[in-house]
Structure 1
């Protein structure tokens, strides 16, 4: 099948105090080449094509090869993405309408490895990555992700029920589920949230004089590890209301232990949560201690790893037909409720979400409705035929999917980009095919973190946070000679200052700092400092950053 047996080998790189640490690694045909791909991918520009809705919204839809697009995002978003979800091709040996999903195993692994490496670089230190997969490649993917993200950072595997209707196929077994692998960038750092569940309030069946719901639970521990021998320090006497001494004893006479230590019980007593009640036992009425637990204001419980309540492929396809009746259907579309669950667990409002296999646009649509920022990448024409119209419908208040559950109405915005030319040529210089506007948008985002949503036709790219950004490139001043072109000289600086003054509204203070990109500068360090100029040389200061 093109993939060799999984080999065990020792690799202590990055493992502290673990000389005997061993982990299985996958090996496959052309793995060495696949491992080197991510570093060799050239940086490409992202060309701004159009803005939809609010032009200032920091949401991106990118059409282009996701490997190239991920590398293009690195200068701007390295370490900034809170949650990554991808639904890659599953290598099902079937010909999909929109994907070449008929890949031999080693090819599939070679496709996935460099993309996972770049995704890891984009992931924030408190971030997490979630990958949908089935059992054809799921186990290979698990070992591959152990290698890329670190086995110690594996969180869990969710099982999603994708089919909820009877299957009349003649085969004896049909798969009704898929997997969802979850890794953190750093173990236990992602801050996963529990699931809200008001049904838990039913367990607090009593109400005190102030109206608070509560329940009383035995202070004596029951069940596993409840004997004195299990935790000897938790066997100690308590003074009952009548002054008698009470020890934790099971009904069958065995010495038990309390569920809390002496310090914890003292705190309960001080807070009025140590409750004594009389119970009738064989020896007569005895005092029994309880701990009073008040209902939480926002009851929650852990998320189950078997997802039976997030809709299925059938409902997802029906929603897709309603949204895009004129477009060809995706066979692998995921329900919005599945993405809602992921974002509820892993993100907060305003966090950045990335999907580099965007498909029909589900991740971006759900992120938009839930108030998350997002970047979606799709490669084919369906970035325009599916993703773009779907997101426009979201802006206009589309009410399917999770809209009602999350209270979505309308609004927001996103920008549409295509993949442009490589930034650098083979010699490390700026690619001659790169036009001024494309490089200007790249550097504007570099300096400010803002999306390029306007046309750049002047050396003054804009002002942000008391900083004016300029670019001298490709004869933008109409003259390639040092006196008027790509070199920062005294006359050129004076011209830039005049451009800035003309663009600054009357009565507004001029920015105190200037960043100027150019081929070189004829001005000394003291002159630059006096003018408040930071000069960045093209291409070196672009590559270095």
Structure 2
């Protein structure tokens, strides 16, 4: 019996969308075979923008980012995201470079359907949004590398529908996390019901087994670790037991204390945190131990929550192999050295485990507060600093938010893609972090006023905001060693509060104890840290104009006014899957695919034209001749003189389409 997969369905799901007007949001439904949807646009390369990395100065300190080689292999495209993504996946020259090579996709669709599609019925507006996003997600999946991930940023309007759509495209098994970003640093008193504090970011991997990078550990996180026993590695105490007795019955047994001789068991429902071999080796540093079966199935069954008959049998206890007095003497002597990983508290009546300070960073959590990654207010301030007097974006994203995402999902040199550029935050942060990037923007006003100028500021080094530099950190003053467990921020807060308490008491201010406390907790600010010194560059491009259209009155595909010269040649090559032959190669042909060449003819293709073209063909090679007018008999003539070659009539043989479906 075939099992039916759970799917999200919507109005016109079997159809696709094309823009109703170039450079603006607005779409209409067409059949998937409509040439206005199927046509692959090429990219027209414009200027290349390049900057120089500034020299270092003694005035500042520099982070590891500041020493990364600025990336030069970046692409900024002005054009509709769906067409840009199709170009990246279908134009052979671009597909070779980008398909399967993007490590991170971050998208923040720059519209709320209730605003963008206000003239549509509610069910239709969501259908348009879902169709548009589905088609882009399919392209983005192809562009992602096998070890890549996609991060989709949404508010509450479409997040539940998007989750189902992502399940459908990427597979529910590749869902990684739902991240909640606390975007608001204050409540909104103008909210009618609730002041909405959060956005959502859905993370999916291209394939199962994806792992994020670790986050750097903060001083506050490290301050909870200490070394009361003199261990060279700081640690914190963790309970010796963990949940899971029922499923880990082999880790439920007695341990005899070397201090009291008491048999210690995990609590009801708990098991020892470490495997028995590891526990035995650590305990043997306190005294001499042996494994012995105590026939305590009833006690172990009670802890595991099962019957004595069903509890795992023959699990030995860890018992002292020497008398209690000798064991206690050895254990007390061991107290004067750094303790083993397993140790005793409460006069030997409880077991704990050392949790050592991690060396490889910290695992990211799914709730991100504005204090850690910035707020909407921060991001608006960043845009205003870059573009004084302008405030075009209602919900820009702070650079620190993108910094965390890019850090978790990529390494220097990896490629980052954002097909909804907006003000260009993703590309700006990627450049500052030594990543390559690709981004595009539909709206000309946004592209010319914000995206392009912002990225120019990044590479020329005039963008000093966002993550470009970090204020100096609070550090210990010279000659000060803070007490264990107290970090510089704690010390600064302590001094600040102390000064407030003493502000009205002149007598206490003069106290030698107070002065000594201030001296012991004195801190200072370190130098400003520079993370970005400019440099690198990017290619600016735009989408080629449409070469194919469909005329309802004629019921056929037509060429547009733009379908001429190199625009037509490149369009035919892209849509037939040919790679353009570079201009610096002297060739009578336009493009190539394996041993097949392409020649585009604007005009009549007859026997004489065919003979002239074939006469330049190397032996063993074939040719596709694409002409805007093909004479009767031309196809047969080419087949006779060049086996495997063919004639293509433009546009009819490129897009064979009639309303209602393909012919």
Confirm or deny a common fold (TM above 0.5). yes
Q: For the residues of structure 2 that align with 1:447 and 1:245, how far apart are their CA atoms?
A: 82
Alpha-carbon separation, structure 2, partners of 1:355 and 1:175? 25
- Check the 8 A contact 1:248/1:256 in 2, yes or no: no
For 1:385-422, what per-residue CA distance to the aligned partner results, in whole angstroms no more than 9, with x for missing partners? 21111000000121111112581111011001110156
User: What pairs up with 1:97-112 in 2 under 5 angstroms?
Assistant: 104-112=125-133
Higher RCO, 1 vs 2 (CA within 8 Å, ≥6 residues apart): 2
* Residue in structure 1 matched with residue 49 of structure 2 by the alignment: 52
Which one of 515, 518, 531 corresponds to residue 407 of structure 1? 531
* Structure 1 alignment gaps of length 5 or more: 1-9, 13-18, 462-468, 494-515, 521-534
Paired residues for 1:9-408 under 5 Å: 19=3, 22-23=5-6, 25-34=7-16, 37=32, 41-53=38-50, 57-75=72-90, 76=95, 77-94=98-115, 104-169=125-190, 171-187=192-208, 189-198=209-218, 199-206=220-227, 211-215=232-236, 217=238, 220-221=240-241, 224-225=243-244, 231-236=248-253, 247-249=263-265, 257-265=271-279, 274=340, 286=348, 290-308=352-370, 309-325=372-388, 329-381=392-444, 382-397=446-461, 398-405=463-470, 407-408=531-532
Distance (Å, rounded) in 2 between the aligned partners of 1:307 and 1:155: 19
Partner residue in 2 for 1:496: none
**Which string of whole-angstrom CA distances, capped at 9 and with x for unpartnered residues, describes residues 139-171 of structure 1?**
122222222222222222222223223423162
1:513-528 to structure 2, matched below 5 A, reads 519=624
Q: Is residue 422–residue 451 contact of structure 2 (8 Å, CA) maintained in 1?
A: yes
| CA distance in structure 2 between the partners assigned to 1:204 and 1:170 by the alignment | 43
- Partners of 1:68 and 1:278 lie apart in 2 by 66
Q: Residues 213 and 170 of structure 1: is their aligned pair in 2 closer, same or farther, counting only changes over 3 Å?
A: closer
Q: CA deviation at 1:58?
A: 1.6
Whether the 8 Å CA contact 2:149–2:203 is kept in 1: the answer is: yes
Contact 1:89 1:101 in 2 (8 A): no
TM-score norm. by structure 2 comes to: 0.58
Q: Which runs of 5+ in 2 are unaligned?
A: 18-30, 52-69, 286-337, 471-529, 550-555, 589-594, 602-607, 626-643, 649-653, 655-663
Is the deviation greater in 374-383 or in 419-428?
A: 419-428
Cα distance, 1:458 vs structure 2: 4.3
What SS is found at the alignment partner of 1:300? Answer: coil
Partner of 2:564: 433
Q: Is the contact between residue 43 and residue 424 of structure 1 (CA under 8 Å) also seen in structure 2?
A: no
Q: What is the total number of aligned residue pairs between the two structures? A: 455
| Alpha-carbon distance in 2 for matches of 1:151, 1:337 | 29
Structure 1 pair 312–41 and aligned structure 2 pair: CA distance change class (3 A)? farther
CA distance in 1, matches of 2:188, 2:386: 26
Distance 1:195 1:265 in 2: 31
Tell me the CA shift for residue 70 of structure 1: 0.6
Q: Deviations over 1:312-338 (max 9, x none)?
A: 222212211221236561223221122
Q: CA RMSD in A?
A: 4.6
TM-score in terms of structure 1 length: 0.69
- Cα shift at 1:280: 5.4
Q: In terms of Rg, which structure is larger?
A: 2
